[in-house]
Structure 1
Amino acid sequence: MQSRLALSCLSLALLAGTAHATPTLYLGMNGGTMERVYADKVLPAFEKANNVKVVIVPGTSSDILAKVQANQANPQMHVMFLDDGIMYRAISMGLCDKLAPSPPLEQIPAKARIKDEAVAVTLGVTGLGYNARMFKDKGWAAPTSWMDLADSRFKDKVVFQSLASSTFGLHGFLMFNRIQGGDETNVEPGFKAWPTTVGPNVLEYIASSAKISEMVQTDEAAIFPLTPTQVATQKLLGIPMEYAQPK
């Protein structure tokens, strides 16, 4: 399942200032690793090339959306990076301007654009992360299917991200919904089957994936939707996670 992290332009009214002042752009995006990569490797060259200063406003996609929505009449951010599901909400709320035509934009495939108001900056795979230490101790084989989330072995050990605030949780549910016979235009099969399949195994519905590492360390979480990049990042920090790509 593909996970799109999208970028959307907002009102540029904040650029107004004195003629000699360096313009400042406010960029809402995820904190942590992503913020450090952009601050160290991407933004310095952009600032130099465009004679601007970029200030990162860190937060989850839900945090950024809430801040932009609260200040819609007087925008505090020029650009926001949001997970794809949250970006669709931002567009439906009228928070995004149309993207200005440009040669670089024309080079981006149509499937990487959302209604001409947002464009993907990364594409990644969403699959299953799991607690490698717990699986080893219990002699469990690595997961191979989205339906492993419904396995009775994982009673109260599934951690699922909220569909309203996380692309990973949304993707996990949509894949489960496909298995139940639904699709992106019909999610009733998934909602109907959830209470008797995956639902009983869910320990907690969390707002952000940031909590998963803590729950893995305390062995509260056995299995959860996540990306290989996120899992690799946690492994570098010593968290006993592994990634499995479901069939």
Structure 2
Amino acid sequence: MQKSNWLRAGLLATLAGGALLAGTPAKAQGSLVLYCAVQEEWCRAMSSAFEKETGIKVAMTRKSSGEIYAQVKAEASNPRGDVWWGGTGDPHLQAAEEGLTLEYESPMNKDLHPWATSQWNAAKKRSIGIYAGALGFGYNTQQIKAKGLAEPKCWADLLDAKLKDDVQVADPNSSGTAYTLLATVVQLMGEEKGFDYLKALHKNISQYT
């Protein structure tokens, strides 16, 4: 459900980031449809804070970045969402390039870090950076100990043949974080070595979740 421009501006000023979904605005109905791609706790906390501040009911759906991008694209001819908040930057840039999101300049832009406004410039005002985080991996210390392995300290350690079928990664077709992993490896190692690493890692992966 599309809402009026003032409703859109209000949420983006409060959340200081994200993307407005393109479509023909309809009359404001006192509610807002939010597609949220950060942790569930963040999504609920922001929705509650916005409802308390504005009196506008938020209908929130939490999905991964890739899933939201696919949904927004599928709904392009009949948009149902108002705001897409959070998730990795690449899907937002792709949506911006395809005209699936709207231009918006928040009055809070001047208070943001350069890396945040860099996303806004790259997206031609259709998306903005809202947070940054380190990309890493976790492991089960008990299983590592049971296998007699040293605790992995870097990405190269995940290629140990003893970890075959013990590594799980999210599906990069739907997970923005997993896609970012692929892109980061290629950027750090170069295309040839990066894909060689990913092929080697694939041998140890039991499931793409």
* TM-score (structure 2 length as normaliser): 0.76
RMSD of the alignment, in Å? 2.5
The answer to whether the Cα contact below 8 Å between 1:96 and 1:117 also exists between their aligned partners in 2 is yes
Pairs within 5 Å for 1:154-233: 154-178=163-187, 180=189, 182=190, 187-195=191-199, 197-206=200-209
The answer for unaligned runs of 5 or more in structure 1 is: 1-5, 207-247
Name the counterpart of 1:24. Answer: 31
The answer for unaligned runs of 5 or more in structure 2 is: 1-16
The answer to whether the Cα contact below 8 Å between 1:14 and 1:76 also exists between their aligned partners in 2 is no
Query: Partners of 2:169 and 2:74 in 1: how far apart?
Result: 27
The answer to whether the Cα contact below 8 Å between 1:11 and 1:97 also exists between their aligned partners in 2 is yes
CA pair 179-57 structure 1, distance change in 2 beyond 3 A: closer
- Is residue 69 of structure 1 aligned with residue 78 of structure 2? no
The answer to whether the Cα contact below 8 Å between 1:7 and 1:80 also exists between their aligned partners in 2 is yes
Pairs within 5 Å for 1:30-41: 30=37, 34-39=39-44, 41=45
Name the counterpart of 1:88. Answer: 93
CA pair 176-103 structure 1, distance change in 2 beyond 3 A: closer
The answer to whether the Cα contact below 8 Å between 1:47 and 1:53 also exists between their aligned partners in 2 is yes
Of Structure 1 and Structure 2, the greater strand share is in 1
Name the counterpart of 2:153. Answer: 144
Query: Partners of 1:188 and 1:95 in 2: how far apart?
Result: 33
Q: Secondary structure of the equivalent of 2:133?
A: strand
- Find 1:55's aligned residue among 54, 59, 70: 59
Could you tell me how far 1:14 is from its partner in structure 2? 4.7
Could you tell me how far 1:191 is from its partner in structure 2? 2.0
- Find 1:7's aligned residue among 18, 21, 26: 18
CA pair 91-204 structure 1, distance change in 2 beyond 3 A: same
Pairs within 5 Å for 1:224-243: none
- Find 2:138's aligned residue among 111, 126, 129: 129
Could you tell me how far 1:8 is from its partner in structure 2? 0.9
Could you tell me how far 1:98 is from its partner in structure 2? 1.2
CA offsets per residue over residues 82-140 of structure 1, 9 Å max, x none? Answer: 322322332232211112x3321221123114222112232211111112220122232
Percent of residue pairs bearing the same amino acid type: 26
Query: Partners of 1:102 and 1:86 in 2: how far apart?
Result: 20
Pairs within 5 Å for 1:91-106: 91-99=96-104, 101-106=105-110
CA pair 13-23 structure 1, distance change in 2 beyond 3 A: farther
Greater than 6 Å deviation, 4+ residue runs: none
Query: Partners of 1:174 and 1:58 in 2: how far apart?
Result: 24
Higher relative contact order (CA 8 A, sep 6+): 1
